[in-house]
A and B are shown apart, each in its own frame.
Chain A
Amino acid sequence: MDTTGTFWMPPGNSTIAGDVDSLFYFILYASIIIFVLVVGLSAYFSMKYRRRDGEVGKTDGLDHNVKLEIIWTIIPTILVMIVFVWGFKTYMYMNVVPKDAYEIKVNGQKWFWSFDYPEGGNSVNELIVPVDRPVKLLMASKDVIHSFFVPNFRIKMDVLPNRYSITWFEAHTIGEYNLFCTEFCGKGHSEMIGKVKVVSQEEFEQYAEDLAFSGEGMTLEEFGAKLYIQKACVTCHKIDGSNSTGPPWDNLYGKEEHLADGSSVKVDENYIRESILNPMAKITQGYQPVMPTYQGILKDKQIDALIAYIKSLQEDESLINE
C-alpha cells in the first residue's frame, strides 16, 4: 500500500487504492510497450524508406500477411480481456460495502457538502471519519447532480437528486484529504471543495460527540458562536464589520436592511430565520444570491442559538430590547 504518491497517482490512502493503482499501472505499461512499438516502427520505416531526391518508381506490392494480421488482432484482444476481468473483480470489491460499515449520510447541495452522522451530529464541508474502519456513504442531492470525489481514496460517485447513491471506503492513514465535486453544478462548482479528515477511533468519538452536541450546559449565545464556526457560516460572514461573500453579522440585529429589490426590512428573529431557511426570499442589497439554504441541516434549537449569537453581536442595546 503506497501512501507516498507517484508521478501519476496521488498518495493512495484507502484500502482499494492499491488495487486500482496496480490495474492503472498494468494498462500504463502495456500501453507504453504498444506505443513504442507503433511509433518506433513508423519512425524507423520513415528513416529507412524515405524518398531520396528524384527517386520515383514502383514500390513493393506487399499488401497483406495473414499471420501477422491474426497476431495483431488476437494479442490486443487477449490484453483487453485481461484488463476487463481484472477491472471487473476490483469493481465488484469496490461496490460491495462491508457489513459492519459505519454509515454516514451525505447531502450535496449548491455548493457545499453536509454530513449526518448516526450519533446525530452534522458537519458541513468536513467529513470526519475514523481510520481503519469501512465507511458507507449514503448520498443524495437537494438540487442538481453533484459528484463525490476523493482522489486519495480513488472513489467517486455521483450524488443524484431524489435518488440515493452509495459508495464506501476504508481509509488507512490519518490525515486530511481533498474532497472535490466533479459533476458540473453551476457557478460554485469549483468551490464545492471539502475535506475528509481521517482521525483515530478515540479522536473520532470525541468529534462525533462534539458534532452531536446540542448545547447542553452552554448558553444559547455560546452555542451559537460554536455553530458559527462549525456550520461554516464563518466562511461568508465576518464579525469584525468587514465584508465577505455575505454581510457581516456584527451590529446587524435590529437594523434596517436594504434589499436588492429596493425595499427594506428590519432584521429581527423572523427575518434571520427566513434568511437561514430560505435565503433566496430576500436578497440583501449589494450581495449575490449565493447563500445556501440550511433547511434540514440546522435544527430549530440551533437556529435559535445562531439568532441569539447574532443578537449578542449588536452593541447598541436599544436595538435589541424593544
Chain B
Amino acid sequence: MNKIPETHYLNAKKGIWSWLTTVDHKRIGILYLFSVMFFFFVGGMFALMLRLELLTPTEMYIDSDTYNQMFTLHGAIMIFLFIIPAIPAILGNFVLPIMIGAKDVAFPRLNLLSWYIYIVGALFAVFSLVSGGADTGWTFYTPYSTTTSTAVISIVLGAFILGFSSIFTGLNFIVTVHKLRSPGMTWFKMPLFVWGMYATALIQVLATPVLGITLVLLIIERLIGIGIFDPAMGGDPVLFQHFFWFYSHPAVYIMILPGMAIISELITAHSHKKIFGYKAVAYSSLGIAFASFIVWGHHMFTSGQSELAAMIFSFLTFFVAIPSGVKVFNWVATLYKSSISFSTPMLYTLSFLFLFSIGGLTGIFLGALPVDIHLHDTYFIVAHFHYVMVGGTVIAFLGGLHHWWPKMWGRMYNETLGKISCLLIFVGFNMTFFTQFIMGSQGMPRRYHLYVDAYRPFHAFSTYGSWVMAAGFFLMAYYLIHSLFKGKPAGNNPWGALTHEWSITSPPPEHNFEEIPITEHGPYDYDKIVAKSTLVEN
C-alpha cells in the first residue's frame, strides 16, 4: 500500500498567510489552479447561457445587449483568464522546475508577483462585469470599442494587466530553462514538455508587449481621441486589427503549444514508448513559435487590407501547418509497437489527436483566401477555434491535470469516473461544435443573438450537446474534489514514467530534491529502463 509522506510542500508551512506569501513554484501552481479553474467555471457558465439563448431563433430570455455582453465576457474570460494562463501557470509552474531537476524557478518572487498581477487583472475584468459589462467581442475592434457606451475601459485595462502576468511567467521559464538545468540535463535530454513551454515563453515575451501597447492606445483613443484607430479623428480602424492580431495570432500558439507539450509527455508515459522523432518534435515547437509571428493578417482577409498583404498572409499561413503536422505524425508513430494503457490521461491524448486534427485541418480552409471570404465571421470560425482551443488545448490540459494530479496531491482520482467524464466531454463537444461547422458554411454569422429560422435545427442540436459536455465537466469537478480528501494514495510513480518528477515523493517535498539530481538517461528511454507503476500494488 502506498503512503503519503509525513511532510511535503502542502503541509510544510501552514495557514493562509503561508500560501499568500509563498514563493514555492508548486504552491504558486496550486494558487493558479484554483483561480484559473474558478474563471473557467465562470466562462463556462456564460457559454451555457449563450447556448441556451440560441436554442430558439428569437429572443428567449435575454435581450441583445445582454447577449452581446455575454459572448464578450465568455470570450475574454476564457482567453485572458483561463486558457492563456492555464497550462503554463498551473502545470508549467508545478512541474517544469522539477522536470529539469531544479529547486525552483529562477525568480520565485517574480513568480508570485505574476499571480498577484493575475488577480488584479481579474478584478478589473470582474469590475467590468458588475459595472454593466462590455459588448465589443474579445477582439475589441475599433471604432465600435471607442464609441460604445459600455464598460470597455476596465476590461481592456484588465487584459492589459493580465498581459504582464503572462510576460513574467514566460520570462521566468526562459531563464529557468537556460540556467537552472541540473547537471547532465542537456538541451536534448529535456522532456518535450519543457521544450514546448520554452517555445511558448518566447512567444509570450515577444508578442504580449505589443498587446500591452495596443490596449493602452485603445484606452487613450477612447479617452481623448488621439487619431490612430478612430476614423472620426483621422485614424484607421484596420490598423487596430493589425496591432491586435500581431499579438493575438501568436497568442493562439501560446495556447496550443503547451497543449502539444503535454501530449508529447502523456503519449510516451502512457504507452511506455520512446517518443518518435524527439528532435523533430522539439524543433517544430520553435518552428511554430517563429512562424506564428508572420501570419496574423489571415484574420483580416475581408477587412479591406490590401490584396497584396492578404496574399502574403495566406501564403505564410500554410507554413504553420507543416510543423503541426510533423508533431501529429510523430505522435501517431510513437504509438507503433508501444504498450498503451487506457488510463484517463491516455483517453484525453487520443481525444486530442482526433479533435485537434479536425481543428487544425479546418484552419487550412480558413487560410485559403476565397474560402475564408465565405467563412469569415461565421460559425465555421467559432467551430474551428473551439476545436483547437477546447478540443486541443483544454483537452490536453485536462489530460495533463489528470496525469499530474496524483503528483500534486499524492492521491488518485476515481479512474472509472474519469473515463466516463472524458467520454461525456468528447461526445458532447462534438455534438456542440461539429454542428457549427455545417451551419457556419451554410452562412450562419457569428455574434448573432437572433437568427434566421433555417439554422434552428443546428443551433438546437448544438445546445443539447453543450449540456452533455457540461455534465462531463461537473462530473469531473465532483470526482477531482472528492479525491482531494478521499482519494487513494497514489505512490511516487503511478504511471511508471521516467521524468524527474516521478522520482520524488507525491506530493513532492518542499524543496523538490535533497540533492540536485544528476540526469543520466533520456526522459523517454522506455526501451532501456522499466519503472514500475506504483498503482499496480493497490
| A95 part of interface (Cβ distance < 8 Å) | yes
Which residues of B (336-381) have their CB < 8 Å from a CB of A?
A: 336-342, 350, 353-354, 357-358, 361-362, 364-365, 367-371, 373-374, 376-378
Assess the B365–A27 pair: CB atoms within 8 A.
yes
Which residues of A (209-232) have their CB < 8 Å from a CB of B?
A: none
Q: Write out, one digit per residue, whether chain A residues 27-71 have a CB within 8 A of any chain B CB (1) or not (0).
A: 110010011001101110110011100111111111111001100
Assess the A184–B450 pair: CB atoms within 8 A.
no
Which residues of A (292-315) have their CB < 8 Å from a CB of B?
A: none
Q: Out of B135, B365, B368, which one reaches A84, CB within 8 Å?
A: B368
- Cβ-closest chain A residue relative to B356: A38
| B515 part of interface (Cβ distance < 8 Å) | no
* A76-B321, A84-B368, A191-B450 known; A58 vs B445 contact (CB < 8 Å): no
Assess the B370–A20 pair: CB atoms within 8 A.
yes
Residue in A49, A59, A61, A88 whose Cβ sees the most chain B Cβ within 10 Å: A59
* A7-B438, A59-B337, A154-B374 known; A180 vs B329 contact (CB < 8 Å): no
| B11 part of interface (Cβ distance < 8 Å) | no
* A9-B441, A38-B353 known; A187 vs B339 contact (CB < 8 Å): no
Which residues of A (134-153) have their CB < 8 Å from a CB of B?
A: 143-145, 147, 149, 151-152
Taken together as a complex, chains A and B put the C-alpha atoms of A193 and B137 apart, in Å, by 20
Chain A residues contacting B332 (CB-CB under 8 Å) are: 38, 41-42, 45
Assess the B350–A42 pair: CB atoms within 8 A.
yes
Assess the A69–B280 pair: CB atoms within 8 A.
yes
* A56-B496, A72-B326 known; A182 vs B376 contact (CB < 8 Å): yes
Taken together as a complex, chains A and B put the C-alpha atoms of A34 and B364 apart, in Å, by 12
Assess the A163–B326 pair: CB atoms within 8 A.
no
Assess the B339–A59 pair: CB atoms within 8 A.
yes
Q: Out of A63, A83, A184, which one reaches B318, CB within 8 Å?
A: A83
| B277 part of interface (Cβ distance < 8 Å) | yes
| B220 part of interface (Cβ distance < 8 Å) | no
Which residues of B (226-253) have their CB < 8 Å from a CB of A?
A: 231-232, 236-238
Size range of the chain A interface in the assembly = 35 or more
Taken together as a complex, chains A and B put the C-alpha atoms of A143 and B446 apart, in Å, by 20
Taken together as a complex, chains A and B put the C-alpha atoms of A185 and B451 apart, in Å, by 15
**Total of A-B residue pairs, C-beta within 8 Å:** 271
Q: Write out, one digit per residue, whether chain B residues 141-165 have a CB within 8 A of any chain A CB (1) or not (0).
A: 1011001100000000000000000
Q: Out of B271, B280, B311, which one reaches A49, CB within 8 Å?
A: B271
Q: Out of A39, A41, A80, which one reaches B364, CB within 8 Å?
A: A80
Chain B residues contacting A158 (CB-CB under 8 Å) are: 302-304
Chain B residues contacting A239 (CB-CB under 8 Å) are: none
Cβ distance A31 to chain B, nearest Cβ, rounded Å: 4
Taken together as a complex, chains A and B put the C-alpha atoms of A191 and B358 apart, in Å, by 32
Q: Write out, one digit per residue, whether chain A residues 70-111 have a CB within 8 A of any chain B CB (1) or not (0).
A: 001100110011011011101100110000000000000000
Q: Out of A50, A64, A68, A73, which one reaches B322, CB within 8 Å?
A: A73
| B183 part of interface (Cβ distance < 8 Å) | no
- Cβ-closest chain A residue relative to B342: A50
Cβ distance A53 to chain B, nearest Cβ, rounded Å: 10
Taken together as a complex, chains A and B put the C-alpha atoms of A19 and B373 apart, in Å, by 13
Cβ distance B530 to chain A, nearest Cβ, rounded Å: 6
Assess the A156–B370 pair: CB atoms within 8 A.
no
Q: Write out, one digit per residue, whether chain B residues 513-538 have a CB within 8 A of any chain A CB (1) or not (0).
A: 00000000000001111101100100
Assess the A50–B368 pair: CB atoms within 8 A.
no
Q: Out of A9, A42, A77, A160, which one reaches B353, CB within 8 Å?
A: A42
Assess the A149–B68 pair: CB atoms within 8 A.
no
Nearest first, the 8 A-B pairs at minimum CB distance are A151-B443, A61-B527, A80-B318, A45-B335, A162-B231, A190-B448, A87-B368, A182-B377
- A: residues with CB less than 8 A from B are 7-10, 16, 19-20, 23-24, 27-28, 31, 34-35, 38-39, 41-43, 45-46, 49-51, 54-65, 68-69, 72-73, 76-77, 80-81, 83-84, 86-88, 90-91, 94-95, 143-145, 147, 149, 151-152, 154-158, 160-163, 165, 178, 180-191, 193
Q: List 9 A-B contacts (CB under 8 A).
A: A8-B441, A38-B329, A41-B332, A59-B527, A86-B368, A182-B378, A187-B64, A190-B445, A193-B452
